[in-house]
Amino acid sequence: MAHASTPAAGEVQLDTFYFQDGDCDNVIEDITPTIEEMAMPGSGPSETLLFDFEGVICNLTITGKLTIATSDRTEGEASVKTIEEQKAFLKALPNGFQSAVTLKSTFNSSGIKVMIKKIHFNEKSGDPNELIFTINLVEGQG
């Protein structure tokens, strides 16, 4: 399958892996500035000194389920259609020497650089047609 360089509405792409339409439930961005707080003795909260000079961290979480793909999920790779093949491909991304990869989604269509912090798979007993996943990412250069 030829994939567009910009994902369609609702499509999510992580590196060269395209999640099948409907497989991603959420892409959550958690933007956290590092604020230094210094309470002033003998004063109330409105007198607290606040400093924002340590930068900002953006953690992202993708949740959903892998299902049997109707077309190849990757670009320029071996065929990746079964749930087991998709799981193996995703597990190989954080390899101990990972470089930042590009995440594209509806509201990040130009792409942002991320590294994988954690991948969690949850096999539901008795359901061989889907594999629930959570992927935790952090935005930045790497």
Structure confidence at residue 70 (pLDDT): 84
What domains are defined for the chain? 13-139 (2.40.30.200)
pLDDT score for 124? 87
State pLDDT tens for residues 16-30: 888 988 899 999 999
Q: What is the pLDDT of residue 10?
A: 61
pTM equals 0.84
- Residue 7: per-residue pLDDT: 55
**Of 99, 89, 121, nearest in space to 17 by CA:** 89
Phi-psi region of 34 (alpha: psi -120 to 50; beta: other; left: phi over 0): beta
Residue 16: predicted pLDDT: 83
The per-residue pLDDT for 71 is 85
Residue 18 backbone phi and psi in degrees, to 5: -105, 115
What are the residue ranges in the chain where pLDDT is below 50?
1-2
Which residues face 55 on adjacent strands? none
CB-count burial class (<10 Å; 0-12, 13-18, 19+) for 73: buried
CA atoms of 116 and 110, how far apart (whole Å): 19
- pLDDT score at 115: 95
